[in-house]
């Protein structure tokens, strides 16, 4: 047996121009969450409990796109989703379309442990959350000023329908149709990397 | 998107992923994170959590593919991750983290960077972006 191991991520598609202080901030959050998991594993905790504990911490910190600090829909609301899977017995739980649950991953865990299903979404998931008594927050808890700014940029670009492009500040215009993609080496899914900057 | 994969002292694996999705997405959009086998998967052999362009991850059932090539082709965890990232995403871009029941960690991504960190019982620990 090779002993315990843990890995954590905070999202891919990082904007190559991310300021150094933002990089350091992200690293600090990742390191803090790793230590939470390491301490639990040293104490003999089960894998499924550790992944839930670590993702809860990441959801609570607004630095990454989940829970508080989630990306916003075109209406400026949050629709969060999460899943959890226990390799022992391949049990799993998932939720989508949450707008008030503080820690979506814990509701996914309850779907796995306390419901006959493996996936609940939107109204049904919100109803299940109230039945289970999980902590819920007002929508404003999840919305950060920075993400409202990102959303406005996307809307100003008026290209969101096709390429979800968020104009890089200082770029005069932003092509509004998918057809006129600028051949930018930094692309993700054929889209400018700036679209995913918050990710 | 955030995620965590763990193998505990008993060799049991688990994975969890959570996200707000894409900025300015249409309401009602479901991404890869909650779809078991796409953004998240765990079995006796390994555990995987993905991030990036959800639609590509869904089409490639990325997380399950890593486990499948380990199961059926006998690849090691990093080989399986590299195979999935290189040959399953078509033009999509994504990243993933993985652990094996033998206490190994692996990651792969074809984006410019991925916020990530990993640690093992023998004292290894790393936090990185690029």
The 10s digit of each residue's pLDDT in A64-105 is: 999 999 999 999 999 999 999 999 999 999 999 999 999 999
Q: Which of A160, A196, A187 is nearest to B91 (CA)?
A: A187
ipTM: 0.98
The answer to whether B30 contacts A81, with C-beta atoms less than 8 Å apart, is yes
**Contact B61/A at CB under 8 A:** no
The per-residue pLDDT for A58 is 98
**pLDDT tier at A193 (50, 70, 90 boundaries)?**
low
Alpha-carbon span B6 to A5, nearest angstrom: 6
A 20-49 → B contacts, CB under 8 A: 23, 26-27, 30-31, 33-34, 37-38, 41, 44-48
Q: What is the mean pLDDT of each run of 10 residues along chain B (130 residues)?
A: 98 98 93 97 98 95 98 98 96 95 97 96 96
For the record, the structure tokens of A112 come out as: 């796995």
The residue with tokens 């965590």 is B4
Three-state DSSP at A27 gives helix
**pLDDT tier at A130 (50, 70, 90 boundaries)?**
very high
The 10s digit of each residue's pLDDT in B43-81 is: 999 999 999 999 999 999 999 999 999 999 999 999 999
The per-residue pLDDT for A182 is 41
For the record, the structure tokens of B130 come out as: 């690029």
List, in sequence order, every residue forming a beta bridge with A187; answer none if it has no partner.
A192
Alpha-carbon span A81 to A130, nearest angstrom: 17
**Contact B90/A at CB under 8 A:** no
The 10s digit of each residue's pLDDT in A160-187 is: 422 222 334 443 333 333 333 344 455 5
Three-state DSSP at A196 gives helix
DSSP letter for A133, please: T
Going A186 to A189 to A192 to A195, the CA torsion angle's sign is: negative
Is B27 designated active site?
no
CB atoms within 10 A of CB A17: 12
Q: How many percent of chain A have pLDDT more than 90?
A: 69
The 10s digit of each residue's pLDDT in A12-52 is: 988 888 899 999 999 999 999 999 999 999 999 999 999 99
């Amino acid at each position: 047996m090779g002993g315990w191991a843990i890995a954590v991520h905070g999202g891919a598609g990082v904007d190559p121009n991310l300021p150094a202080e933002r990089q350091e901030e992200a690293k600090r959050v990742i390191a803090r969450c790793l230590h939470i998991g390491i301490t639990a594993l040293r104490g003999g905790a089960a894998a499924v409990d550790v992944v839930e504990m670590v993702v809860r911490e990441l959801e609570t910190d607004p630095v990454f796109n989940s829970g508080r600090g989630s990306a916003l829909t075109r209406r400026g609301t949050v629709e969060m989703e999460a899943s959890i899977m226990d390799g022992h017995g391949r049990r799993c739980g998932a939720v989508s379309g949450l707008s008030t649950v503080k820690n979506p991953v814990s509701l996914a865990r309850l779907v796995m442990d306390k419901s006959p299903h493996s996936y609940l979404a939107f109204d049904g998931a919100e109803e299940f959350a109230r039945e289970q008594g999980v902590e819920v927050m007002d929508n404003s808890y999840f919305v950060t000023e920075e993400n409202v700014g990102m959303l406005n940029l996307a809307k100003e670009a008026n290209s969101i329908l096709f390429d979800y492009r968020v104009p890089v500040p200082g770029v005069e215009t932003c092509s509004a149709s998918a057809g006129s993609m600028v051949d930018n080496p930094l692309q993700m899914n054929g889209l400018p990397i700036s679209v995913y900057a918050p990710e | 998107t955030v995620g965590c994969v763990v193998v505990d002292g008993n060799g049991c694996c688990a994975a969890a992923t959570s996200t707000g999705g894409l900025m300015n997405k249409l309401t009602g959009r479901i991404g890869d994170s909650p779809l078991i086998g796409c953004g998240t998967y765990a079995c006796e052999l390994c555990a995987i959590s993905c991030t990036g362009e959800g639609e590509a991850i869904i089409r490639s059932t990325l997380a399950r593919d890593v486990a499948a090539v380990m199961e059926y082709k006998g690849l090691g965890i990093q080989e399986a991750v590299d195979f999935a990232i290189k040959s399953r995403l078509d033009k999509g871009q994504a990243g993933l983290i993985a652990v094996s029941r033998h206490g190994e960690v692996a990651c792969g991504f074809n984006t410019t960077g991925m916020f990530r960190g990993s640690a093992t019982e023998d004292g290894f620990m790393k936090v990185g972006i690029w």
